[in-house]
Structure 1
Amino acid sequence: MTYRDLLAPMAAAAREAGQLLLTTPRPERATSFEEFAEAFEAAEAPGAAVLRRRLEELRPGVEWADELDVLAGPPTVGEVWVVDVLDGAVQFLQGLPQFCVSLALVRDGEPVAAALHSPLLGETYLAARGDGATRDGRPIAPSAKTDPAAAVVTTGHPPFVARQPEAAAQAGRSFAAVLPAVAAVRSLGPTTWQIADTAAGRLDGFWEFGRDAANLLPGALIAREAGAVVSDTEGNPWTAGSGSFLAAPAGLHGRLLDALHGR
């Protein structure tokens, strides 16, 4: 089975899990971290069971790595599923609409197939290495903008960013540097979905500081396959071990690198 052949069943699995999220009653808003964690686990569990079953049928024996432990060390040899059943859990639990199901097959540390599904939007992004990227079956491409002053860009941060204090500091400095150079800076929910929307031209760039492989791998593949430039914030090719991330159209990428460095 080729990576392209995986996309349809991956999409079906993501949609099934997404439908379960829609039918899961949202809990009362948590007032402590412990309550938040309990609410998240309860919301995620039905979809996780579906995805474990579907992905095992699709790729028997391939291990599953969740959002917080994926690729924490050296690149994994062979294949691993990178799964976030509820990407955007904060928004989901706060009653906000920006959340999605995120799946990627990673081989030797590189994403080779990805599926993102937004249950509320009813949209699905798909990409396979060497085969392009689509939204709802139609090819996508990044924005044609070249002027940062016309660009709407987005940013985010890794989960539990306090564990990466330098990343938090860099995020603050970069926001102050980029804001005067662009039309607007926003943070619009799940990292993966923001990168995919950049790949599709809805947004004009996404950057982040810190190590956040699980949230970046699916979007990185979609962006590359759509024709966006994906790098770290020094302009080097992005890998799962990189400490920063930038995805942007070719006509804006260099200008956004300059903005990030205050040039």
Structure 2
Amino acid sequence: MGKNMKTCRKIFCIALGLVWVSPFVLMILIAFNSNNSTSFEIILNPATWTLENFSKAWNQADFSRGFFNSTLVTTVSVFLILMITSMAGYALGRFEFRTRKLFIAMMTGSMIVPAVFFSIPLYQLLKILHVDQSLLGLILVEVCGAHVMFVLLFMKHYQNLPDALEESALMDGASPWQIYWKIMFPMARPVIGTVVITQTVWTWNAFLMPLILTLNNPELRTLSVAMYAFQGENIVDWGGMMAAGCIAVIPMLLLFVSFKNCFISGVEGAVKE
């Protein structure tokens, strides 16, 4: 009976894995197809396979510029978000002040508000600051977003650290900044891994605000917005769009493969805490 249950579980997991991976396989098949078709009979025919769609995506849709823009926006945004959320989490987790509980409650309550509600106010604010037509505007949109979950993860982590670490550092003459930067922050590696990888994927795949801010300025388009160029009014270039999707997915895939252990330990650490 036990062996049968294990076999059923393995079959179920394999079936679930095949269902999960099937869209990616389909995307790759369409990307290598020379005909603009989604028919299985055509995309499974090796005679129609080509690399032309990748060349079209990289050159015609100016993916080289989009790749640079996405890399710059993602790198700067993730770094700033990591610093801001970790410092906010440290302040909430290690210091007591009068409005602390109210502040945490307000932050938690803000998580129920959909981010799309802030798109128009954000655009108006960026316009007032004269950064609505620049990569700085895209970075500010990402950095100024509601990263409440990351703040709470850092807060919980810092709360669980022993007070003896902070007390011994104070006795040695360390300042609050030195305690945070040299002791507390390095000990938050599990949460740091979770924040970096999660926010990198979110920023890399962001579409709505990059579309709004770069609609009239193709030179500022990110990869996700550049993919939109393959969708015409009456026809969609499926091969070009899927090839563009493959190019956009590769960096995230390499990131996860390279840092999968860090990501897994980060998630486990966040859950345990």
The structure that has the greater radius of gyration is 2
Alignment TM-score, normalising by the size of structure 2: 0.25
Alignment TM-score, normalising by the size of structure 1: 0.25
Greater strand share, structure number:
1
